[in-house]
């Protein structure tokens, strides 16, 4: 009996095979499965949520309050530090790309071996109306000079800052008037930025010593730490503070505008650290409070390490940067269409100590748009933020202890990706793996080219630096097996979540 058929196949046979689907979930470079990479990226985000989540733990809040209170004591010691300063707190230290400070030495700190989580705090020590003649910017770079006339808002700024003055603007510099005020909207204020005047003063016996039970940490290499005239940091269990020398006053210059002295960022950073170190030495330990266990100045900023009481005990790094707050907006700064309308507030930006060339001189500041970047980051789709955080974690061991600008370049590529790629693509969780690899590939191209267009000042470039060649090789090796690197980053994040960083692995010592 002939069997009944359906089409050309017997009815009782297996169904015809489905049409072949293209393999679109494989990374061509490494052969890694994008779905696995996405799962690892999501796991990394879960493990790092203790420090990067929307609700920080009590130990992070206590450490932040300790730092804010320490700045209150700085004002008591030196009235030049403003009593009501709007502080801006950013997640991640400078070595993780929170700010662009050029190619200044950043110190030997590495997340994991030396600390568990990092933060950056912008501390305005001087405020300026950008419409005046005091601020002048270099047309060819992202740098500016702050010139101090005799009277500023009824006070003698030269006299008040005589120990922080630098030479006049170099002759022949191509300068332009810096800011404009009309028609510019300011980014919305960060919830992390808090008025200094609302911070409670610490108890008189707040601690600074290191407990004998604190997990052992590697000793700090000294080659990248600015030796400011004191003996090497102590290796006992007291506070580890690198001292700064007293700067000699600069003679008063003539009154002509061309000869106005400049406010020198290096001198301001030295004054800030010296005052902070004096306050730190006056603190006494108290059980249950954070302990300041290390402080050192690196170029234009101060790095402090705080040990939390726990449990679990953690070492938290804070990069404290004395900055100048400028009201106004740089001429020629671009807007951002992908982010939509931002808060209708007056524009403002910062001047931060940054790397400058010999031609620009030591009195040159660097423009900083940290507040605008914070507002933009709040509008980046969550999967892309996860991909960026994962790329940061993979890049971290490659740039540890160097002056590489790669972490901030990676952050800038995040904003450029939002302008170039469809928002619906970036918002799909399954695309996190592809976005992470794309950011790393873009960073490799930037390092090879040696520069990246500045996101806010489009006619200027961010320089990749001299270490690009070595980093390119390490980045290519990482791209050969991104899954293995992500697994290692997940394990590091798990150790940091438990407290003690990598010092808590293998018996708690290095």
DSSP letters of 164-233? GEEPPPPTT--EEE-EE-TT-PBPPPPTT-EEGGGSPPPPTT------TTSPP-PPPPSTTS---SSPPP
Contact, 330 vs 347, CB < 8 A? Answer: no
CA distance 244 to 226: 9
Contact, 276 vs 270, CB < 8 A? Answer: no
Question: What average pLDDT does the structure give for the chain?
Answer: 76
- Tokens 């007293």 sit on residue: 246
What DSSP letter does each residue of 256-285 carry, written as one string? SGGG--EE-HHHHHHHHHHHHHHHHHT---
Residue 71's Cβ-count burial label (10 Å; 0-12, 13-18, 19+) is: buried
Contact, 193 vs 378, CB < 8 A? Answer: no
How many residues are present in the chain?
Answer: 510
Helix (H) or strand (E) holding 128: strand 117-129
Among the residue ranges 336-345, 363-372, 418-427, the one predicted with the least confidence is: 336-345
- Alpha-carbon distances, residue 241 vs 11, 267, 297, 321 (angstroms): 84, 18, 9, 17
**pLDDT value for 128:** 85
Contact, 120 vs 316, CB < 8 A? Answer: no
pLDDT in tens, 160-201: 888 898 888 875 444 544 454 433 333 333 333 333 433 333
For residue 177, the tally of other CB atoms under 10 A from its CB is: 13
CA distance 330 to 6: 75
Q: Which residues contact 170 (CB under 8 A, 6 or more apart)?
A: 359, 360, 361
Range 318-335 average pLDDT? 87
pLDDT in tens, 362-388: 788 999 999 889 988 999 999 999 999
- Tokens 């306050």 sit on residue: 279
Contact, 67 vs 121, CB < 8 A? Answer: yes
Dihedral of the CA atoms 111, 116, 117, 123 (nearest 10)? -90
Share of the chain above pLDDT 70, in %: 70
Per-residue tokens: 264 = 């020198």
The yes-or-no verdict on residue 495 having pLDDT over 60 is yes
Helix (H) or strand (E) holding 291: strand 291-298
pLDDT tier at 498, thresholds 50, 70, 90: confident
Range 315-336 average pLDDT? 88
Q: Which residues contact 308 (CB under 8 A, 6 or more apart)?
A: 59, 60, 62, 63, 290, 314, 315, 316
CA distance 32 to 177: 52
C-alpha atoms less than 13 angstroms from C-alpha of 94 in its C-beta half-sphere: 32
pLDDT tier at 90, thresholds 50, 70, 90: very high
Residue 353's Cβ-count burial label (10 Å; 0-12, 13-18, 19+) is: buried
Report which of 444, 454, 463, 435 is spatially closest to residue 336, judged by C-alpha positions.
454
CA distance 434 to 153: 53
Strands 175-177 and 179-180, bridge-based pairing: unpaired
pLDDT tier at 126, thresholds 50, 70, 90: confident
Share of the chain above pLDDT 90, in %: 40
Contact, 140 vs 102, CB < 8 A? Answer: no
What's the whole-model pTM score? 0.78
pLDDT in tens, 433-484: 999 999 999 999 999 999 999 998 878 899 887 778 889 999 999 999 999 9
- Alpha-carbon distances, residue 201 vs 62, 76, 184 (angstroms): 13, 11, 37
Report which of 215, 199, 147 is spatially closest to residue 175, judged by C-alpha positions.
147
Range 329-338 average pLDDT? 77
pLDDT tier at 497, thresholds 50, 70, 90: confident
Among the residue ranges 68-77, 105-114, 170-179, 227-236, the one predicted with the least confidence is: 227-236
Contact, 95 vs 109, CB < 8 A? Answer: yes
Query: Treating both helix axes as pointing N-terminal to C-terminal, what angle do 482-498 and 382-399 enclose, rounded to 10 degrees?
Result: 90
Report which of 40, 10, 478, 424 is spatially closest to residue 1, judged by C-alpha positions.
10
């Amino acid at each position: 009996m002939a069997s009944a058929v359906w089409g050309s196949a017997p009815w009782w046979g297996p169904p015809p095979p489905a049409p072949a689907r293209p393999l679109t979930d494989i990374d061509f470079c490494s052969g890694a499965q994008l779905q696995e990479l996405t799962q690892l990226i999501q796991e990394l985000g879960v493990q790092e949520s203790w420090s990067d989540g929307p609700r920080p733990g009590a130990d992070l809040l206590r450490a932040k309050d300790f730092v804010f209170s320490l700045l209150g004591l700085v004002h008591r010691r030196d009235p030049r530090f403003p009593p009501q300063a709007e502080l801006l707190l950013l997640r991640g230290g400078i070595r993780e790309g929170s700010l662009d400070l050029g190619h200044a030495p950043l110190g030997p700190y590495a997340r994991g071996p030396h600390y568990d989580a990092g933060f950056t705090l912008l501390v305005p020590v001087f405020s300026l109306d950008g419409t005046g003649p005091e601020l002048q910017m270099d047309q060819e770079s992202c740098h500016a000079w702050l010139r101090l006339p005799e009277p500023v808002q009824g006070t003698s700024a030269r006299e008040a800052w005589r120990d922080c003055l630098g030479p006049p603007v170099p002759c022949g510099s191509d300068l332009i008037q810096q800011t404009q005020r009309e028609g510019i909207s300011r980014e919305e204020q960060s919830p992390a930025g808090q008025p200094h005047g609302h911070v409670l003063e610490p108890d008189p016996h707040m601690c600074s010593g290191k407990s004998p039970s604190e997990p052992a940490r590697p000793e700090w290499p000294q080659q990248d730490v600015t030796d400011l005239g004191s003996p090497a940091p102590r290796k006992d269990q007291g506070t580890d503070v690198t001292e700064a020398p007293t700067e000699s006053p600069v003679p008063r210059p003539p009154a002509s505008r061309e000869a106005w002295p400049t406010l020198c960022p290096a001198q301001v950073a030295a004054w800030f650290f010296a005052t902070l170190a004096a306050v730190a030495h006056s603190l006494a330990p108290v059980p249950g409070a954070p302990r300041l266990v290390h402080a050192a100045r690196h170029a234009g900023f101060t790095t402090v390490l705080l040990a939390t009481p726990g449990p679990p005990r953690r070492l938290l790094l804070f990069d404290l940067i004395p900055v100048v707050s400028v009201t106004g907006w740089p001429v020629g700064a671009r807007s951002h269409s992908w982010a939509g309308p931002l808060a209708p507030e007056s524009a403002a930006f910062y001047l931060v100590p940054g790397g400058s060339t010999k031609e620009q001189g030591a009195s040159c500041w660097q423009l900083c748009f940290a507040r605008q970047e914070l507002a933009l980051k709040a509008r980046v789709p969550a999967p892309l933020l996860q991909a960026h955080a994962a790329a940061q974690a993979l890049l971290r061991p490659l740039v540890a202890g160097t002056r590489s600008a790669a972490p901030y370049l990676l952050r800038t590529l995040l904003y450029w990706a939002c302008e170039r790629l469809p928002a619906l693509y970036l918002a799909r969780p399954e695309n996190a793996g592809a976005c992470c690899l794309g950011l790393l590939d873009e960073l490799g191209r930037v390092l090879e080219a040696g520069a990246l267009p500045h996101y806010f000042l489009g006619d200027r470039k961010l320089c990749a630096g001299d270490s690009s060649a070595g980093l390119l090789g390490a980045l290519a090796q990482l791209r050969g097996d991104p899954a293995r690197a992500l697994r290692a980053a997940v394990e590091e994040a798990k150790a940091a979540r438990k407290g003690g960083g990598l010092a808590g692995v293998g018996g708690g010592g290095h």
